Structure 1
Amino acid sequence: MLNQEFEIAVEKVPQDQLKSKPAQDKLGFGQFFSDHMFSMKWNRKQGWHQAAIQPYRQLDLDPAAMVLHYGQAIFEGMKAYRAEDGRILLFRPQDNFARMNLSAVRMCMPRFPEERVLQALRSLIYLDREWVPRSEGASLYIRPTMIATEPMLGLRAAEEYQFFIIACPVGAYYAEGFNPTTIYVEDQYVRAVPGGVGDAKTAGNYAASLKAQIAAQKKGYTQVLWLDAREHKYIEEVGTSNIFFMINDVLLTPPLEGSILPGITRDSVLQLARDWEIRVEERPISIDEIITASENGTLQESFGTGTAAVIAPVGELCYKESSIQINQGTTGPLAKRLYEELQGIQFGSRADHHEWVVPVR
């Protein structure tokens, strides 16, 4: 059913019922939602069907829907950007949909036809194009989601699913904006294990991270940095981002070995760094290596990467109640350069040498 063709119906919100749009300087993140959504359903007999762009609405779920009991839920995050010339641009949406299908396979859910859904997404964003912010640095965040909807109590893969896409205008993900964040290194709880679902973007991963996240925030830290589940020694990722360190002029990031998410922004950063002839290493990094580099002065900077924040400079790590200051708590030059380059490509003001940008129309 992966190459299945289907018609996409369109039901527009009447002009006099369109929502009021929020002030551009009060967008926050994930608080306001556009007028329309895309939805389609799947079952074993019909495959994907009932594909429609329709008014944003509540879902109709049976209390026995299997997602509520057995957790089959996956999602993605991407953005639409308004260029200075008025064009609306997507950044690597094909890669997001390819990753979502990998998550679907891991969670025993049906794959979807990526090109057809990309077409639906472009149509949805064009219809809601006035929701794409015009203010500097703001964008339209896009959330594709798939859930198991079959009403059934019994542990097995569901045979009915709903896929939908919603969108919301957003400002900066962190209250700090592009200023450095502070991160607590978690050495008790774990996020994922090899052979588990750490490399799938599934809802349960994020639910499992909340306890440590809340504890870190109570201590005054913005995010959690996870260590490996076996030895509590090797760095994996931040709660919402992949993580990078610049040590002795080498850009380091943990390898993709099944327990961390293969980030689209992570991959973009690696490509840009190689374009700029920066030495890059994807390898295990222990927290002890970071401490040693901090003590001997070779730890130059650190930053997280992700769709929501793009580049999030790290100014401090806290490990076992000891503080590790990074670049004197300021944004490093590489993080700044990467942020400006990526935002330039995403907003259409810089050359897109890798053909990452897809125009909505």
Structure 2
Amino acid sequence: MASQQIDFDNLGFNYIKTDYRYLSYWKEGDWDDGALVTDNQLHISEGSTALHYGQQCFEGLKAYRCKDGSINIFRPDQNALRMQRSCSRLLMPLVPVEVFVEACRKVVQANEHFIPPYGSGGALYLRPFLIGVGHNIGVKTATEFLFSIYCVPVGDYFKGGLTPHQFLVSDYDRAAPNGTGAIKTGGNYAASLAPSAEAKQRQFTDCIYLDSLTHSKIEEVGSANFFAITEENEFITPGSSSVLPGITLSSLKDIAQSSLGMEVIEGDIFIDDLGKYKEAGACGTAAVITPIGCIEYQDNFHIFHSLKSVGPVTQRLYRELTGIQSGDIEAPGEWIVKV
């Protein structure tokens, strides 16, 4: 699909084939030089460990068109580091941070005409992934690996602005203690499909997972991180080794502390103590922030700020973060890579 045929004002979060993607192979202890390719079909062995044993991980990040026409990639080094942690846990070779970041730059530059214009609410979503390939049969690490990055233009998750959403507490467990909950591997998401579908069948946006050990504390929201704002104006997130360390969440913590002057806490958020919190939300790369208006737990409904409007703290966090991403607000430190 040519970029001129894309309706940038009405983009969703759907696959659109772009012109180029980055591809690199690991074999006999080394990565090759990598290259941009046009073929969007992968050709791998039927014995690939990614297919049979789930030996794979992935990332998600975005590039944004700025008002002056320049391009921002948001914190790719943090995605590179998180992918390295995933690879270490899954016995896969690490992609060097500088290689990862430069590959992102190349993909964005080669597909620049697919980036939604400034002010459209859209962005160019990048999907880096690393999979075990080669001719394998036993349960062991692969003999070869493939690293790739492709991109897709995506729209503003919130059509018409921020809107409160309703969530259902799931009876399913997302991740076991000391399991793979803290890494971004596909198996975690495969396990989430059924509980998410059940929540949506009941007209909820998605489900909320409690800790699998005690079923008393909030851990994650669907495939996103959870945060809440206390009555004392503190920003709190679940402190759990089973939670995926989110880059959007990390950024919101910094903004809450430095720009809003809030105390940031990682701690227990008990499902029976929701009255302590005046606002709540889910956050991640795709939606940035999904405001939570209501949570249903055991047939009881807890409403936060409102079912119709978004709380003032959540609104400010969203404006600050999206302003940094689009270049309207000066970014802290090394948050932005220019293309």
Shorter-chain TM-score above 0.5: yes
Q: For 2:6, which of 13, 22, 40 is the aligned residue?
A: 22
Alpha-carbon contact 1:19-1:35 (below 8 Å) kept = no
Tell me the equivalent position of 2:58. Answer: 75
Alpha-carbon distance between aligned partners in 1 of 2:199 and 2:17, rounded to the nearest angstrom: 29
SS at match of 1:63: coil
Alpha-carbon distance between aligned partners in 2 of 1:176 and 1:251, rounded to the nearest angstrom: 26
2:144 is aligned with 1:152:
no
Q: Deviations over 1:39-89 (max 9, x none)?
A: 00002x251015111114200022222211100110000000000000010
2:292 is aligned with 1:309:
no
Tell me the equivalent position of 1:95. Answer: 78
Tell me the equivalent position of 1:11. Answer: none
Alpha-carbon distance between aligned partners in 2 of 1:20 and 1:150, rounded to the nearest angstrom: 39
Alpha-carbon contact 2:25-2:32 (below 8 Å) kept = yes
Alpha-carbon distance between aligned partners in 1 of 2:218 and 2:230, rounded to the nearest angstrom: 15
Tell me the equivalent position of 2:109. Answer: 126
**CA offset at residue 120 of structure 1?**
2.1
Tell me the equivalent position of 2:320. Answer: 341
Tell me the equivalent position of 1:323. Answer: 301
- Residues 43-122 of structure 1: pairs in structure 2 closer than 5 A: 43=27, 45-49=28-32, 51-122=34-105
Aligned residue-pair number: 335
Alpha-carbon distance between aligned partners in 2 of 1:19 and 1:54, rounded to the nearest angstrom: 18
Tell me the equivalent position of 1:137. Answer: 121
- Residues 237-248 of structure 1: pairs in structure 2 closer than 5 A: 237-248=220-231
Structure 1 unaligned regions, length at least 5: 1-16
Structure 2 unaligned regions, length at least 5: none
**CA offset at residue 151 of structure 1?**
2.0
The one-letter code sitting in structure 2 at the alignment partner of 1:331 is V
> CA 1:217–1:22 in 2, change beyond 3 Å: closer, same or farther?
same
Q: For 1:40, which of 17, 24, 28 is the aligned residue?
A: 24
SS at match of 2:220: strand
Alpha-carbon contact 1:197-1:258 (below 8 Å) kept = no
Alpha-carbon distance between aligned partners in 1 of 2:278 and 2:89, rounded to the nearest angstrom: 37
Alpha-carbon contact 2:177-2:213 (below 8 Å) kept = no
**CA offset at residue 18 of structure 1?**
5.5
Tell me the equivalent position of 2:330. Answer: 351
State the TM-score, normalizing by the size of structure 1.
0.89
Alpha-carbon contact 2:47-2:134 (below 8 Å) kept = yes
SS at match of 2:32: strand
Runs of at least 4 residues off by over 3 Å: 17-21, 173-177
State the TM-score, normalizing by the size of structure 2.
0.95
Alpha-carbon distance between aligned partners in 2 of 1:28 and 1:18, rounded to the nearest angstrom: 17
Alpha-carbon distance between aligned partners in 2 of 1:269 and 1:152, rounded to the nearest angstrom: 42
The one-letter code sitting in structure 1 at the alignment partner of 2:142 is A
Q: For 1:214, which of 192, 197, 203 is the aligned residue?
A: 197
Q: CA RMSD in A?
A: 1.6
**CA offset at residue 176 of structure 1?**
7.6
Alpha-carbon contact 2:164-2:306 (below 8 Å) kept = no
The one-letter code sitting in structure 1 at the alignment partner of 2:176 is V
2:159 is aligned with 1:180:
no
Query: Identity percentage over the alignment?
Result: 37
Alpha-carbon contact 1:22-1:32 (below 8 Å) kept = no
Tell me the equivalent position of 2:217. Answer: 234
Alpha-carbon contact 2:19-2:110 (below 8 Å) kept = no
Tell me the equivalent position of 1:261. Answer: 244
**CA offset at residue 146 of structure 1?**
0.6
**CA offset at residue 26 of structure 1?**
2.7
**CA offset at residue 175 of structure 1?**
6.2
